[in-house]
């Protein structure tokens, strides 16, 4: 793996970055670390089958970090031990999810308003495992200063890497991500800092790195819309030209990977969410998405995939 790829990471995204998608990204190339979808620590220590399924990965996905969330230090530490027992390369703590049902549990981005809780969780998780522990966080819950206080606590606790999405939880995904917050966090800490937010092209990824001085960039929704973004960014950083598959080949490959999944229901849902991003702007994309969303299994979608990418890859307002 190139030094450029080491600076790139696939963000954890619920319903999107399952094993098949992570393997798709590995197949295309250019990405350093991938992250699982986030898993509830409370559910994981209750031996939830679904939670264990979310943490399933193949060796060809490495290096891989498993992301956990929760507001109880004991449950988070026990979950980290489970992650380590599964053979993951690292564990990531979620302090950024803005979804109300997570925030109401005092977890996700809600952790940022409680430095004492953060210190307790970070310290206990780090001490519970021998693998690296990283942190992904928002700028704050409602105000954008919390990330600096929590960033210092994370560094003192032994967290190995921080990723900042510079929006508050109350912003959701609206407005612009304030990259200046990434630059400030990087200047205040000695541990590696990755930036995340509003990166949809390789040029924007390089721009974030240049503008903020960040050690790396984590890409989420931009990678779902364009899975070749890591290969393109790596090539741009290395001064070369990427060799990437066309969109039709990518969609076919992803479908084949999903068909190998153990749970057909989850596989279908992952495909539906993926195509909402991936086929936007593609001629016939709107009709394709409608057909996908009313389908009951991947087999009946397969002929539609072939039809979608026949001929030139034109773009419209689909």
Positions marked catalytic: 97
Give the CA diameter of the chain: 58
Query: DSSP states of 267-290 as a string?
Result: HHHHHHHHHHHHTTTBTTHHHHHH
The three-class DSSP label of residue 36 is coil
Distance separating alpha carbons of residues 66 and 57, to the nearest angstrom: 10
Supply 79's token pair: 């979950």
Q: Pseudo-torsion of CA 8, 11, 17, 22, nearest 10°?
A: 20
What is the distance in angstroms between the CA of the first residue and the CA of the last residue of the chain? 37
Distance separating alpha carbons of residues 136 and 36, to the nearest angstrom: 13
Is residue 76 within 8 A of residue 108, CB to CB? The reply is no
Distance separating alpha carbons of residues 232 and 237, to the nearest angstrom: 9
DSSP letter, residue 235: H
* Closest to 208 measured CA to CA, from 7, 29, 34: 7
Is residue 131 within 8 A of residue 123, CB to CB? The reply is no
């Amino acid at each position: 793996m190139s030094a450029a790829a080491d600076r790139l990471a696939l963000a954890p995204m619920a319903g999107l970055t399952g094993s098949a998608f992570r393997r798709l990204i590995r197949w295309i190339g250019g990405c350093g670390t991938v992250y699982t979808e986030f898993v509830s620590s409370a559910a994981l220590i209750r031996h939830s089958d679904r939670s264990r399924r979310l943490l399933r990965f193949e060796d060809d996905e490495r290096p891989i970090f498993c992301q956990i969330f929760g507001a109880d230090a004991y449950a988070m530490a026990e979950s980290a031990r489970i992650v380590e027992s599964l053979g993951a390369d690292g564990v990531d703590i979620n302090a950024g999810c803005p979804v109300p049902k997570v925030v109401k549990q005092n977890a996700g981005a809600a952790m940022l308003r409680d430095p004492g809780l953060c210190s307790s969780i970070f310290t206990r998780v780090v001490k519970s495992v021998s693998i690296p522990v990283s942190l992904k966080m928002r700028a704050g819950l409602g105000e954008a200063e919390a990330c600096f206080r929590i960033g210092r606590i994370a560094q003192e606790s032994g967290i190995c890497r921080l990723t900042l999405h510079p929006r508050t939880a109350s912003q959701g995904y609206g407005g612009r991500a304030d990259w200046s917050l990434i630059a400030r966090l990087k200047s205040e800490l000695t541990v590696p800092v990755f930036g995340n937010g509003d990166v949809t092209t390789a040029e924007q990824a390089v721009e974030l790195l240049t503008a903020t001085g960040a050690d790396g960039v984590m890409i989420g929704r931009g990678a779902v819309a364009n899975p070749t973004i890591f290969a393109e960014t790596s090539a741009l950083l290395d001064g070369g030209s990427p060799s990437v598959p066309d969109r039709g080949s990518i969609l076919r490959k992803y479908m084949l990977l999903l068909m190998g999944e153990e749970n057909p229901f989850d596989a279908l849902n992952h495909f539906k969410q993926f195509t909402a991003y991936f086929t936007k702007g593609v001629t016939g994309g709107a009709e394709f998405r409608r057909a996908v969303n009313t389908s009951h299994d991947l087999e009946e979608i397969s002929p539609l995939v072939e039809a979608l990418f026949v001929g030139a890859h034109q773009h419209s307002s689909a």
